[in-house]
Amino acid sequence: MTGKRIMLDVLGGETVFPPPIWMMRQAGRYLPEYRETRKRAGGFLDLCYNPDLAVEVTLQPIERFGFDASILFSDILVVPHALGRGVAFEEGRGPVLTPITAAEVGELDAEAFHVNLAPVYETVRRLRKKLPDETTLIGFCGAPWTVATYMIAGHGTPDQAPARLFAYREPQAFARLLRILAEQSAAYLIRQIEAGADAVQIFDSWSGVLDEACFEAFCVEPVAEIVRRVHAVHPNVPVIGFPKGAGHRYSGYRQKTGIQGLGLDWTVPLAAARDLQRGGAVQGNLDPLRLVAGGKALSEGVDAILRALGDGPLIFNLGHGITPETPIAHVEAMVRQVRSIQG
């Protein structure tokens, strides 16, 4: 008998208590088994494109903690890589890309896009077969704005000034870049769904650095286009949007983009989160450093979220990805607390 995937019920607007729980970046460096697999893989992209190893690391936190959802192990930058851009991951520095120029935007090569991403689709197919029936499988991509920031600067920056300047100085090229990324990202998510993903998440990690007009043009509109394209093919597959740092612009984001689940970062006040929850499922929003600290800081943070949001559609998660220094015992304590508190 197929298990009940309660996260999908919540994304459909139902209240489940205790709520389903998973963590962004749950397959990662805080786990010793991940570090061992990572050594065997060679480079980080080698790990992303190796279905055997990508399945292995995706399953590791499910086997250890029994989370209600599993998110594909990959990276948001496989999209520009699949479009023919140079992408590498350097130890201690992170992603390094060949910066794109305005003239090169029109040269992005989508011809081999799905061929290049075939190993990712194979990973999704294998995961759906190996995961417990009750575990929701989440596919994902980066939002066009966030992916564009790395493509333009060639690396992460504190305020994404290179991308913002590019958008102001080369508006036509930038609009074209966002359009290409939206089209290809939607196609990427559709293929993940066809391979077995139950839901998908769009990560907009740098939405918080934009002014009002740019937020609408660079964050809202491209994500809305992705959602339209995904739902045109798979109308019943829920989409989670995570516009990190959006602040008061979280209000209206769900309606404008068409997402079903709204991911909240840890700076969103719980009273505001409660208001946002009236429009549908919310996901989050524990400060990842409370999980690092453990003890009273952790238990109080978990309790506050459950008390404020537990009687509505909630997916318990962190307000951003888990950090490598997080003790495993603290994750175990968090899961126990979320699942032991009764409504």
Catalytic residues: 25, 29, 38, 75, 150
Instruction: Quote the CA–CA distance of 123 and 54 in Å, as a whole number.
Output: 7
DSSP state, residue 235: T
Nearest residue to 330 via CA among 303, 307, 296: 296
Tell me the two tokens of residue 287: 């400060």
* Tokens matching residue 159: 């305020």
What tokens were used for 316? 């318990």
Q: Are the CB atoms for 170 and 100 separated by under 8 Å?
A: no
> Cα separation of 301 and 292, whole Å?
12
Q: Which tokens go with 217?
A: 């043009």
Query: What are the Cα distances from residue 120, in Å, to 29, 49, 90, 128?
Result: 20, 6, 21, 13
∠ CA 253-256-257, rounded to 5°: 80
